[in-house]
Amino acid sequence: MTIQSSPRSIEGGARRRDASIWVYRRYLVGGGALILVLGAFYWWTHSSNQAGPRRTPVVPVQVEAAVQRDMPVVKDTIGTVVSPTTVSVIARVQGELTKLYFKEGQTVKKGDLLFEIDPRPYRAALDQAKGQLAKDQGALDGAQRDLKRFQSLRALNAISQQVVDDELATVAVAGGTVESDQANVETAALNLEFCEIRSPVDGKTGPIQVQTGNVIFSSATAPPLVTIAQIKPIKISYALPQSDLPAIQARAREGKLVAAITLHGADAGKKLTAPVDFVSNVMSNAGTIELRSDFANEDEALVPGELVDVIVQLDDIRGAIVVPRIAVINGPNGTFVYRVNHGAVQQVPVSVEFDDGTDMAIKGDILAGDNVVSDGGLRVTPSSKVTIQHLANRPAGGRRAKGAKGARGASKSP
């Protein structure tokens, strides 16, 4: 009996054989790749061990020498320029404003003529007062002559005492009238003088509030004609925390309490100094105390209302060890600096005595001349090796340069 395979069964067997071959090849390729990876890893690790340990990278840094000098303890604050005297000029008599003798913003001197009110009514009033005085003065003179005659007749017993007494009363009344007339003349003369409005102080004028042709009034509620502010000299008002009051008082007793201001604008960087001549006797609600200083202001650089930067020196730290502010690092265990010596760094704990925003006075195992990392400290660890790019120097005349003792020399890079 002959068995014949169907075409379908033969085709299925071929497919199974192909699938088995494909799986075998896939495992073969994967195993080969794994062998190659393991071999490469083995070669890399063993070749690295034979080459020896890798070198620690050298960190480039900049250093600066610590210096020993007196460190001024200063306080920075904001001050306001204040005019010592501000005057609102008002009229003292009523009348038509006829003339102006200055321009807005002009600097004037005490006594300079500013405005003129129509003087004619007041000149006429003065003439009238003088005429009345002359009239009453004549009456007084006549009464005094009559009194002398009556006294002579009374001595001869030619008239009664009553006549003399009546004449005495007439003379007294006439004398009082004359005194009143004299006062009226003085008042009229003052009113005429008040028609010329003059500057009561040296200063700078503000905007003119009333123009010529207007009738002005001499009342307390009338608006000022102009405001004049004294600007030479001028005051700076500023405040410091009440906790600084003992240092302020101690410094003032020594006569060393001085304020310095820094100008802006065209005179940027220019510094002016003046003694503190006023310390308030009360504390503000904000817990500060007001201080003031007078500045000559000859160039009129300071204007009332302007804000300026003020520095007040309250003390000195004698012989302080001073380093750049950027050299001091805050760590989890406190502040420290990195000292550099022959290419190696050492972490040195320090405490900060004072920070002026540029430099710090510190205490710790740092001496004058020790080089500390001033740039690159965040890349450094206590085990790091460093190379000095260049020794950082401050500009001539800088804060740290003043009174500083010499350094012991820069560290050499490896």
Q: Spell out the domain ranges in the chain.
A: 1-48, 61-71+317-391, 75-84+229-316, 90-225
Q: Output the six-digit token pair for 80.
A: 């306001």
Whole-angstrom distance, CA of residue 362 vs CA of residue 374: 15
Q: Is 329 in contact with 362 (CB distance < 8 Å)?
A: no
Residue % of the chain over a pLDDT of 70: 80
CA 161 – CA 339 distance, rounded (Å): 117
pLDDT of residue 397: 36
Distance between CA atoms of 208 and 104, rounded to whole angstroms? Answer: 6
* Multiple choice CATH, 61-71+317-391, 1.10.3720.10, 3.10.129.10, 2.40.420.20, 3.50.50.60: 2.40.420.20
Model confidence band, residue 403 (pLDDT cutoffs 50, 70, 90): very low
CB of 64 closer than 8 Å to CB of 389: no
> Given a cut of 70, is residue 29 above it in pLDDT?
no
Tokens of 2: 């002959």
In the DSSP assignment, the letter for residue 308 is E
Residue 35: pLDDT band with limits 50, 70, 90: confident
Instruction: Describe the crossing of helices 120-155 and 161-193 by its angle, rounded to 10 degrees.
Output: 160
At 80-124, the pLDDT tens digits run 999 999 999 999 999 999 999 999 999 999 999 999 999 999 999
Say which range, 37-46, 185-194, 397-406, has the weakest mean pLDDT: 397-406
Q: Which of 362, 367, 358, 350 is nearest to 395 (CA)?
A: 358
Confidence of residue 17 (pLDDT cuts 50, 70, 90): low
Residue-level pLDDT at 240 = 93
CATH number of the domain at 75-84+229-316, out of 2.30.180.10, 2.40.30.170, 1.10.150.80, 3.20.20.100?
A: 2.40.30.170
Per-residue pLDDT of 267-321, as tens digits, reads 666 788 999 999 998 888 888 999 999 999 988 889 999 899 999 999 889 999 9
* pLDDT tops 80 at residue 42: no
- How far does Cα 174 stand from its chain's mean position? 67
User: Poorest-confidence range of 127-136, 181-190, 205-214, 342-351?
Assistant: 342-351
**What is the β-pairing status of strands 215-216 and 58-65?**
unpaired
- Cβ pair 339, 362 in contact under 8 A: no
What's the mean per-residue pLDDT of the chain?
84
- The Cα–Cα gap between 342 and 385 comes to 9
What string of DSSP letters covers 313-356? EEEEEEEEEEEEGGG-EEETTEEEEEEEETTEEEEEEEEEEEE-
Q: List residues bridging with 278 in a β-sheet.
A: 292
Q: Which of 8-22, 111-125, 242-256 has the lowest mean pLDDT?
A: 8-22
The CATH code belonging to domain 90-225 is 1.10.287
